[in-house]
Structure 1
Amino acid sequence: MRNTFIDNISLEETKPLFFNRIEKYNKKETITTERSLGRITASSVFAKVSSPNFNASAMDGILVRSKDTEMASETNPVILKEGKDPVDYLIDSALKLEAMGASFIVMPCNTAHYFYEKICKSIKIPFINMIDEVAKELNDVKKVGLLSTKGTYKGKIYENILNKHGIEVAIPPIEMQEIINKLIYSLKEGDENLDKIPIKDVLDYFSNLGIEKIILGCTELPVAFEKLKIEGTFIDPTKILALSAIKHSGKNLKNFNSQ
């Protein structure tokens, strides 16, 4: 979490301070993959100068104009300006990848698969559906639990596909969805107290239903579960997608385990 605040200074005052300090660091530095992953797995970066003393955004860093976003939070969003339909940006990205010569496209985001069909209609190259790949992996399963964001639950992204494969998707009650959401956003914000979040209550809920396999339907969840050292039979969609991409490229896989 950003917990070091000294002063807020103007951009023009910041520039000479920034560049003068950069000149002192002209040596090469080896950075581990974990540290390079940014807000999710790496430690938060503490700015001693010009670190605004107002809310930080889990997705986009610090706010620039606090007066415009006063009282805003993850659970109390404030719309500053109506933007374009997000699918337009996804389609634009897919078209750019196609123009760059990509043989196929993958999208390692669960919620964004809500727009999968629209994106497919806009491109000519194959687009691997992560949810479809998960369904193939669960071909011997009749019922599975789902941990995900509220957006994925609301869009029925997994139910719509898995039900076609004869797989029932169990959804936790609203109060437990709040627990999952808190875990996801706490990880994004760099909260070190993930162990205080009662995610075990959600897992016990599925266990009491006799469900043995649970889909980690948000890209942050596998990271959170690894940090918390939670054991169980969990399905990681992004891992399945990555291996599917390798197979799609014509390469062979050995000792593949999606759990």
Structure 2
Amino acid sequence: MLAGLGPLAGAHFYRRLIELTPAQQDGDHVSVVLVAEPAIPSRRDFLAGCGVSPVPALQQAARELEQVGCDIIVMPSTTTHAFYDDVASSVTVPFLNLLVEVTNALVAAHVSRPAVIATRATVQTQIYEPHFLNRIEPIYPPPEIQDRIECMIDAVKGGADTEALRADMDDVAAAGWLADADGILLACTETPLIAPTRPGPKLISATDVLAMAALRALGRQTGR
């Protein structure tokens, strides 16, 4: 697993992988190698045109996972999938594509108009669109809501109290921009940590989608 993007989100992905594994004892869980390298240059800064490319560091991390014998590689960061092709092509190990897996999960859940809660970089680059095609029509937040989401994501990365941030996320998820949405896509790995708790549209967590895809790829089926 290529994590550290950010660290808490990577740890949350690993926890969800454990919780979603149909295991009765320690030996039933999957073996995991986690490369957490927070020093990888900011993907968000680079996509905003004010930072250095993270691709060489991402490729190096992927090669480290290949060299230790991983059967598959996952990268639980939506924004970082803007560089998926460059990173996946640097190794021969199967490299799961979060964007593809999330698209398939939305189709399977009959969600065609998801409200996308993600980083500004994910929203502006519209990296999901080539996969959504004409099956899914995403709803993006207005600028003032996106600013709030960005601040919450930064707060999680900065070690803020995630429970305190849930109230802000509840407000975002109850705002008028979701009026026509039939689901909410938590499309940044920090956002499931502060997922809204109020009743509303169906929640789809990109973190859970990728964790379940990894388990399927490893022959571990789960109905959760």
TM-score strictly above 0.5 = yes
C-alpha RMSD of matched pairs (Å): 2.9
Larger Rg: 1
Equivalent position to 1:223, from 193, 200, 205? 193
Is contact 2:114-2:137 (8 Å) kept?
A: yes
Is contact 2:142-2:177 (8 Å) kept?
A: no
Q: Deviations over 1:79-131 (max 9, x none)?
A: xxx97520111111111111111111100011100000111221111110111
2:212 paired residue number: 243
SS at match of 2:155: helix
5+ residue gaps, structure 1, are 1-36, 42-59, 61-76
Question: 1: distance between equivalents of 2:208 and 2:102?
Answer: 10
Question: Which structure carries more relative contact order (alpha carbon 8 Å, separation 6+)?
Answer: 2
5+ residue gaps, structure 2, are 1-5, 12-37, 39-44
Aligned residues: 179
Matches within 5 A, 1:128-207: 128-139=96-107, 140-162=110-132, 164=133, 166-192=135-161, 193-194=164-165, 197=168, 200-207=171-178
- For the structure 1 residues 206 and 212, does the alpha-carbon distance in structure 2 shift closer, same or farther, using more than 3 Å as the test? farther
Question: 1: distance between equivalents of 2:136 and 2:131?
Answer: 9
Identity value in percent: 30
- For the structure 1 residues 38 and 107, does the alpha-carbon distance in structure 2 shift closer, same or farther, using more than 3 Å as the test? closer
- For the structure 1 residues 222 and 196, does the alpha-carbon distance in structure 2 shift closer, same or farther, using more than 3 Å as the test? closer
Equivalent position to 1:121, from 81, 86, 89? 89
1:110 lines up with 2:78 in the alignment? yes
Q: Structure 2: which amino acid aligns with 1:190?
A: G
TM-score under structure 2 length normalisation: 0.70
Question: 2: distance between equivalents of 1:196 and 1:129?
Answer: 31
Question: 2: distance between equivalents of 1:144 and 1:124?
Answer: 33
Greater percentage in helix: 2
